[in-house]
Structure 1
């Protein structure tokens, strides 16, 4: 198959975890998505999700994981990391670099703290070491919209909080139909993921991260706030920090050099 793109599942407890893989390299890069995984998993999307990562294909085989199916109530970020580690071991991934974005970055932090033997290098993008006041305000508003099943306003609010004004000028054209895009059958999965974020706090454990770490943030981030990146950088010994001046929470999508920056860190 083109780019060696594959769709798969792995048993975790009494349920399964979906993943996609692509690339031809011997090294492994794990990709952990953000809260959007609460609305739609990676299941069956290998070819689509592979497109932005062509730069990595020669050197890496990439795995992008969703959270497991049938999420239990009060499922925590720490438990997500434990399940992620189990999935890696079941796939015989002995060592990998990890790129976690937003909520995925929170999971990545606990992976590096509690499963250090699995982690080669770590990239934490537009994430936070805990649920600060900004996180609480934003995520609580999203929870409210999800409980009302107001998908249109949930998507609009997410976009307005995440993207730069330059991007939004084009994106706002689809607002009239955005309520029909990606609407889930129910919001249970989203709400469990969102509540896990609100209860997340690994700030005091960050000093346990010993692998080479790159932290990428956005000075205009309205979801976790720019200070979150500086706080992680201060706590993780030897970490590197790069802040995009003009971008916010969607810097990983908007910045043309984002993947190049990650790649250069991983192979340095």
Structure 2
């Protein structure tokens, strides 16, 4: 089911599936297109959640202003959850979505039952800063070839590129000027991100999933979060990419096993 939530002048797209009693919220990473573009793939990837969970996947607001921080993204997602009457939710945030999820757990703990943070960071580091600025600049200049090449080189493993490279190389075909602007604003928001000093406000059970050799956020970023929270950490080997959440066959099982424990 696809829907549009309106609140305080904002419009935020989402979709949902499943019919379970527990609420599972997915906050996706930085992307050039709306999450509705990937709804069929996401629904298929998380179909095993459908029995015990009702799954909600939130995009960022449609009318993104020129200045839009990660904390703003978190406020929007939290407001969307409240509009839908969602609380005590299990939240999975991937990459930028993981940064957003941290602020939801910090600022709106009543909404969060447990937290899964995938391929993310608690604050910007030199590598993440370099990548974010590179992507934002490519989007600003409309250089789709450079943006796509960078995605392929930084997000995915060699095995994924070998198998799906031709398809992935077309991911940005036909992007509009507004889609590029939205992407640039979100990428630049990462350059100021810093939730590290507030991590001690997160009191819910948390699982951190990362990958050795992550070319976007680094594996050390995952270790830093887990070290500060004293929570469970699992790092996949370096033959996976930043988007290990789409690549590793057991990734969803690890999330489910964690959720069932809590």
Q: Normalising by structure 1, what TM-score? A: 0.92
Large movers: runs of 4+ above 6 Å: none
Q: Normalising by structure 2, what TM-score? A: 0.94
Partners of 2:140 and 2:181 within 8 A in 1: no
Alpha-carbon distance between aligned partners in 1 of 2:165 and 2:82, rounded to the nearest angstrom = 43
C-alpha distance 263-131 of structure 1, shift in aligned 2 (>3 A): same
**Pair 1:134-2:112 in alignment:** no
Q: Cα RMSD over matched residues?
A: 1.6
**Pair 1:12-2:1 in alignment:** no
Alpha-carbon distance between aligned partners in 1 of 2:133 and 2:187, rounded to the nearest angstrom = 8
Q: 2:225 — aligned with what?
A: 232
Give the superposition deviation at 1:41.
1.3
Give the superposition deviation at 1:44.
6.9
Determine helix, strand or coil for the equivalent of 1:200. Answer: coil
Give the superposition deviation at 1:162.
1.2
Alpha-carbon distance between aligned partners in 1 of 2:62 and 2:17, rounded to the nearest angstrom = 22
Alpha-carbon distance between aligned partners in 2 of 1:99 and 1:67, rounded to the nearest angstrom = 15
Deviations 1:102-127 (A, max 9, x none): 00000000011111111001000000
Unaligned runs of 5+ in 2: none
Deviations 1:13-70 (A, max 9, x none): 112110000011010000000111xx21124764443110111000000000001111
Alpha-carbon distance between aligned partners in 2 of 1:66 and 1:59, rounded to the nearest angstrom = 23
Q: 2:86 — aligned with what?
A: 93
Q: 1:261 — aligned with what?
A: 254
Find 2:157's aligned residue among 164, 168, 173: 164
Give the superposition deviation at 1:213.
0.1
Q: 1:22 — aligned with what?
A: 17
Q: 1:3 — aligned with what?
A: none
**Pair 1:81-2:81 in alignment:** no
Q: 2:99 — aligned with what?
A: 106
Unaligned runs of 5+ in 1: 1-5
